[in-house]
Structure 1
Amino acid sequence: MRDHLPGVAVSGMLRPRVQLSGFSSSSTGGATPGPLSVPEKHGMDIIRDPSLNKGMATTLKERQSLGIHGLLPPNFITQDDQVERCMRHLSAKPNDLEKYIYLCSLQDRNERLFFRLLKDHLEELMPIIYTPTVGLACQKYGLLFRRPRGLFITIHDKGHIYDILKNWPVKNVKAVCFTDGERILGLGDQGCQGMGIPVGKLALYTGCAAINPQYCLPVTLDVGTNNQALLDDPMYIGLRHKRVTGAAYDEFIEEFISACKARYGSSVLMHFEDFGNQNAFRLLSKYLNNTCCFNDDIQGTASVALAGILGSLRITQNKISDHTFVFLGAGEANLGIAELICLKMEKEGVPKAEAYKKIFMMDSRGLLVTSRTNLSEHKIPFAKDMPACTSLEEVVKTVKPSALIGAAAQPKTFTKEIIEEMSRNNERPIIFALSNPTSKSECSAEEAYKWSNNKAVFASGSPFPKYEQNGVVFEPGQGNNAYIFPAVALGVMCCGSVSIPDELFLQAAEALSHLVSEKDLEVGRVYPRLSDIQATSVKIAVSVIERAYELNLATVFPKPANLEQFVLDQLYDTEYPTFIPDTYEYDISSHQ
């Protein structure tokens, strides 16, 4: 049923009172349907507002009643026609970066069309709006910057962060994705130019899980950069000094998180993104139990990788505790994956100490062994009482793992000799090359299949094309965090979870693995198809909500009888709203 909001007479003419429907905070901090008001708009202000602009899909009566008749070309086209026009524009662009720029400009002028385009062509466009193209966009962000999207808050704004948050025009923010730009993908310190990451992540909140974009706030916390090339670049848009660290940095982060809670409510979701290793773990540990927060590089990556492993088990036909893992890289991604694997093994009844024994990890100095004195506290549980070793090939030959996982941004490190060794020791070796972007991948899909004589169960962090050999076709799965973090965010926002422990990411991984079809497995895919990701996200969100209630984390009561319908009722609709010309009302009830 549609809900018509009455118009308001102003200066002898009727102007629409515009409201957008969505979440509102309940007294318990949960997410329930409610209105999100925005100022009245008229004339050119309608066209300039990307959340209201419909372009040439605006009808004649709407153009007349809204004061925009004559401001648009006289023709009328549907949103379907607009999508087709956009795709033609994209096909004419000479490279992916130009396509990225075009999509950013589309989002700036017509939000619903942008997300409709993304929904209809997600598999094709995700590599443009996110990895791998977003990495290049971050490197060139100073030249690409056109229009503010999100907030830039600097270390010099300490004491005034709440006031800066008040400058953001939307008050009903439900999710804040923020970075300090220190570890952008596999590209390192990009400083202020890391803003492309939270912008891209939040676009996927909507594109993958249909979360209302009005509730999403991207933020860059600029504390400086240690990237000398950026400091020397006259086009650099951030602070021109080295990174601030220590107590001043921690106080800055604390004030920011406290200010977000004060401004948007204690249940606001705080999404840590692309922080350096030295900060990522300790900040997550500090805020995990008292803030609704997660770190996608640690928990999201862990969850999607575990989902792929669980999908692989449907091919290898055994349990996760039957496997031995070797990790190349011991940063936040691989440590997060390893810890979640251990949590899954514990769930299967394996003592945690025994689970740790099944995981071997290598960092930049070699295998984690007990004789090393330079191990961080997060690496110590994985250290083995064995001789030191700096060669991945030697470790593989010694340990004889059944699964090899890379997330070290060291390209071409899964060599022919290593993959052949894995294949000699295993009927179906699991090989995950998870580093982003593609140029940093440990090996390509073609190399994994060719060198293993088609035995590898392969997944990657960035997309690889289909591969065919001797009449056998493989469609490598992409272990993209987009399967996890938007769905978890949707579930958490819907049920008002007070925190997001690892148990929810384990639940999400298990749910995702169950959604891989037999047809997918037949061609080597261990993830569902991206074209179905909104339906996939809803099912994962429902599973997360169910687990949140079991763990007494949810704050929306009574618990909805039909959780799937409860989630579906809160999704953002990319179809255009309708201005009702006879009463000049804005019909939005089905466009939450």
Structure 2
Amino acid sequence: MASTGTAASTLAPAETTQTAPSITTTAASIASSSTSHSEPIPTPRSTSPSSPVASGPRHSHKTTAAASSGRKLINFNPMTSNVDIAAIEEGIKAASLDQLRGYAQNHYAQVSQEKETEYISRNMAAGYPLLRQPFWNKGLSFTPEERVANNLTGLLPHTIESLQTQCVRGMKMINSRQTNIDKYLYLSSIKEQNIDLFYRLLMDNVRELMPLVYTPTIGDVCLQYSTLYTRPEALYISIKQRKSIRTMLENWPCRDPEICVVTDGSRILGLGDLGMNGVGISIGKLALYTAAAGIHPGKTLPIVLDCGTNNETNLKDPLYLGLRQKRVSTEDQRNFMDEFMAAVKEVHPNMVVQFEDFETEKAFKYLDRYRHTQRCFNDDIQGTGAVVLAGYIGAVDLSGVPLEEQRLVFMGAGSAGVGVAKQLMEYYTRRGLSEAEARDKFWLVDTKGLVTKDRGDNLAEHKKYFARTDNNGNQYKTLEEVIKYVKPSALVGLTATFGVFTEPIIRALKASVDEGGAGRRPILFPLSNPLTKAECTFEQAIQWTDGTAIFASGSPFQNVTVDGPEGPVTYHPNQGNNVYVFPGLGLGAILSKATKVTDEMVYTSAASLAKALNAEEVHLGLIYPRIERVREASLVVARETMKAARRDGVSELPEEQWVEWEEWGDVALDAYIKQHVYDPQSFEATRSQL
């Protein structure tokens, strides 16, 4: 679609034509009118510059009449004129359509709103509007007394159902859908109608529904977000409206959000730059903060920062909802991020900000830029590192390879790969190794081979820390070559490339471990999401290591049963999903009133997760709790994170509160946490606080 700038430049040559100057002048004026505003933009939208009736210079009947009369006076003949009237009219239409869609907002003015946002309270909602308010709607669970008191008589079927019965109906409808996208859309419709029902369903059926709400389905949702869009679910902050970020934050319909997930869509999962469509990742992630840790859904805020996109498919899609332009410069994106973080600090000073799926270089720079002054963390760097560390702690115990003999190869040297490596490195330094000794246990591999200082290419800044110097000038260009050279005990994949762990590579890993002696087991972590990006499957890992692999993946896999000498043997996969860490880490930061998220808090989240397994899980050889126990694990992570915040001196809770908890032990702190988490069946008393 042509922009207004394009329309104006297309018309410009016609200005030299002597036969119809009035027409071209009018067309150019109309095409450029949408960029001529400098005053504050009033609202509502009918008077905004993105509206066809926006304030600002407009051409009156008189101007049009003059143009028409001009035609007549010069005896204009469209059949013989050199002026391309069709092109001019097409330009005018394109400019008008762009203006209507908001693409022509090239100004950076500040929105001026006359009305304040109205927050709906439980006491105000009654009658049909109550049934349309997802935070208060109970569906068929309203009692006869509640139906009378809230003017609901006749608006609902006569039957009264428990929340559990409504869940049975919900699961039946979900299972009747044929595709994961259809199931996701049905779940989303429930969320829009009845928040309690949505989260009760998700909590009680987490193994079945988490892959729909988050990975792997959320990847497909993001790819199609503009097509699937039916209603607003987030804050959509465009760089074109960067001077109005505070206003947009204040427009969010729920008071005082406690945590937000923000993305710019530049690196969504393993799918690349999805632009505004990446907002689905923020929405899905926050659903897990609620389901896994109990942060109330009314206290969560999904955000997308729209800086444009370099995704040609999106730019050519007539239904794409984001800015139709290439991404702005790195400097402009950084300035935009500065303005966003400053606005957050002013409007919601106590809100924790989780950065999500920013492209690698920006992910590291933004984390370093804000982590010491604001409540923020990056799940791709810190959360992934923590959850892998938790699994690695358990895997080392099962592997039979002594800690001092562990050697780790990472396939993938992006933000997640380097973040995980640094987190695991800290595990070694806490056990007495020097920084250099700990770093020496890691070999990173990217698309060009082993990352070395003398490889001859321009290494990205974040890779330099782990670049090897002991390769004696030799360059190892393939992963298989690196495996045979390093002879590692563990192989970690963060490549977003399906099948990169081939049979020769996995068998080479097993062979290198077997050389150390009998009873040793290889550690194999293909961590990329979604499933279509996994480095290998669980079945392949079991088959190619003869059942010895200690396996953890980023995506969910089913159990694998094989025939053994004494009958069938069932192997249980581990899913090293960040959902085991980030919800508890976020909850701990909120409840401790931490002024920032420290390295100690992140490390503690991993160490506490490693200890959260029960006896049955240990017996099965698992290294993560079963996903059905994710909320129990999250509460342990939250408790230990809170204590870490106090140790680091960043908790703003009164000291006397901590002293009281210390007297009673973890029981008192656990009770405090449970009093503040959302449960769809027991949160009624605190709803009025929203």
Query: In structure 1, what is the equivalent of residue 337 of structure 2?
Result: 253
| Residue from 620, 626, 630 that aligns with 1:529 | 626
For 1:38 and 1:321, how far apart are their aligned partners in 2? Answer: 59
1:176 aligned counterpart, secondary structure: strand
Does 2:638 align with 1:547? no
Contact 1:179 1:272 in 2 (8 A): yes
When structure 1 is superposed on structure 2, of 196-205 and 551-560 the one drifting more is: 551-560
Paired residue type of 1:238 = G
Equivalent position of 1:464 in the other structure: 557
Structure 1 residues not aligned, in runs of 5+: 1-34, 579-586
CA-CA distance at 1:209 after TM superposition: 0.3
Alignment of 1:50-449 (within 5 A): 50-265=134-349, 267-317=350-400, 320-372=403-455, 373-385=457-469, 386=471, 387-426=474-513, 427-449=520-542
Cα 1:321–1:170 shift into 2, 3 Å = farther
Q: Secondary structure at the match of 2:653?
A: coil
Which has the higher Rg, Structure 1 or Structure 2?
2
Residue 680 of structure 2 aligns to a residue whose secondary structure is coil
Which of structure 1's runs of 4+ aligned residues deviate more than 4 A? 35-39, 317-321, 587-592
Could you tell me which residue of structure 2 aligns to residue 501 of structure 1? 598
Contact 1:496 1:556 in 2 (8 A): yes
2-side partners of 1:421 and 1:588: how far apart? 57
SS in 1 for 2:304: strand
> What is the CA–CA distance in structure 1 between the aligned matches of 2:651 and 2:481, rounded to whole Å?
48
TM (norm. structure 1) is 0.90
How far is the alpha carbon of 1:192 from its aligned partner?
0.5
Bigger shift: residues 560-569 or 518-527: 518-527
Distance in 1, matches of 2:496 and 2:448, equals 15
More strand by share: 1
Q: Partners in 1 of 2:180 and 2:501 — Cα distance?
A: 27
Letter in 2 for 1:299: Q
Q: Is the alpha carbon distance of 1:590 and 1:67 closer, same or farther for their aligned partners in structure 2, counting shifts above 3 Å?
A: closer
On the 8 A contact 1:175/1:269 being kept in 2, the answer is yes
For residues 282 and 402 of structure 2, what CA distance do their matches in structure 1 show? Answer: 36
Greater displacement, 395-404 / 494-503: 494-503
Q: 1:158 to 1:314 in 2, by over 3 A?
A: same
- Distance (Å, rounded) in 2 between the aligned partners of 1:590 and 1:571: 15
> Which of the residues 482, 487, 491 maps onto 2:579?
482
Q: Which amino acid aligns with 2:238?
A: T
Alpha-carbon separation, structure 1, partners of 2:121 and 2:189: 25
CA contact (8 A) 2:361 2:415 kept: no
* Mapped partners of 1:463, 1:280: distance in 2: 26
Task: Give the TM-score, by structure 2 length.
Answer: 0.78
Q: String of CA shifts for 1:58-85, please: whole Å, max 9, x gaps.
A: 1121111111211111211111100000
What is residue 69 of structure 2 aligned with on the other side?
none
1:318 is displaced (CA, Å) by: 5.4
Tell me whether 1:451 sits opposite 2:544 in the alignment. Answer: yes
Distance 1:336 1:433, change over 3 A: same
Q: 1:71 and 1:319 mapped to 2: Cα distance?
A: 67
Q: Could you say which structure has the greater relative contact order, defined with CA pairs below 8 angstroms and 6 or more residues apart?
A: 1
- Corresponding residue for residue 515 of structure 1: 612
- Contact 2:361/2:462 (<8 A) preserved: no
Determine if contact 2:136/2:194 at 8 Å carries over to the other structure. yes
User: Are 1:491 and 2:588 an aligned pair?
Assistant: yes
**How far off is 1:419 after superposition?**
1.2
2:180 maps to amino acid: D
Kept in 2, the 8 Å contact 1:301–1:337? The answer is: yes
Shift of 1:319: 5.4
* Partners of 1:340 and 1:502 within 8 A in 2: no
SS at match of 1:117: helix
RMSD: 1.7
Looking at structure 2, the residues matched to 271 and 75 of structure 1 have their Cα atoms a distance apart, in angstroms, of 43
Indicate conservation of the 8 Å contact 1:106/1:114, yes or no.
yes
Write the distance in 1 (CA, Å) between the matches of 2:391 and 2:276: 33
Q: Distance in 1 between matches of 2:682 and 2:442?
A: 51
Shift of 1:524: 4.0
Q: Find the partner of 2:680 among 545, 568, 574.
A: 574
**Is the 8 Å Cα contact of residues 121 and 688 (structure 2) preserved in structure 1?**
no
Counterparts of 1:17-56 in structure 2, within 5 Å, are 40-56=124-140
Confirm or deny: 8 A CA contact 1:438 1:463 kept in the other structure: yes
